[in-house]
Amino acid sequence: MDASGWRADMALDIPLFDEAHRALTEQVRQLLDAPDSEFEAGMAALTAALEEDFRLEESLMEAIDYPALRSHREQHARVLATLHGLPPGDLRAGRTAASLIMPWFELHLATADTALAIALRVAAERGPGRARPQPRRG
C-alpha cells in the first residue's frame, strides 16, 4: 500500500464507511510521520478511532443479521488486541505495528468490508426487517 493513504479505488460507495476509512488512512499517515515525542499519543488516538469504527461496523452487521459477523468481528478483535498489547513506551514495537496497519486495512477493505458493503446495499434494497431471506417451510 502506498503510505500516502486514501485512494479512489478504496471507496465502497457507502459514505459513512468511505469517510471513516479516508480519515483512518490520513490518521495512519500522520502517525507514521509523527516525531517520537508525539507517537504514543497518536497511537492511542488511532486505537480509539479504530475501536469506534469497528463498533459502528459491528452494529450495522448486527442490524442486518450479517452471516459473516463473527469472522469480521474476530478480524477487528485481533487488530485491537495487538494494539492494546503493545508495551507502553516501546517506540520500535509501536512503529512496527503502525507500519502494518495499512497493509492489513487494504486487505480487510478489499475482502471483509467489501462483502459487508454489498450486504448492506442488499439489505437496504429489501427494506427494514427483510435483511435476509426467510427459509422456506415445506
Query: pLDDT for 80-103, tens place per residue?
Result: 999 999 999 999 999 999 999 999
Query: What is the structure's pLDDT at 9?
Result: 86
Give the whole-angstrom CA distance, residue 33 versus residue 118.
Answer: 34
Residue type for 35, please? P
CB 10 within 8 A of CB 19: no
- pLDDT confidence of 40, banded at 50, 70, 90? very high
Distances (CA, A) of 74 to 8, 28, 30, 36, 38: 27, 21, 27, 31, 30
Query: What is the structure's pLDDT at 2?
Result: 45
One CATH from 1.20.120.50, 1.10.490.10, 2.60.40.1120, 3.40.50.720 for 13-126:
1.20.120.50
pLDDT at residue 133 greater than cutoff 60 = no
- pLDDT confidence of 69, banded at 50, 70, 90? very high
pLDDT at residue 59 greater than cutoff 90 = yes
Chain centroid to Cα 130, Å, comes to: 26
Rounded to the nearest integer, the mean pLDDT of the chain is 90
Give the whole-angstrom CA distance, residue 97 versus residue 80.
Answer: 11
Query: What is the structure's pLDDT at 129?
Result: 57
Average pLDDT over residues 28-49: 97
More confident residue, 40 or 138: 40
Boundaries of every domain in the chain: 13-126
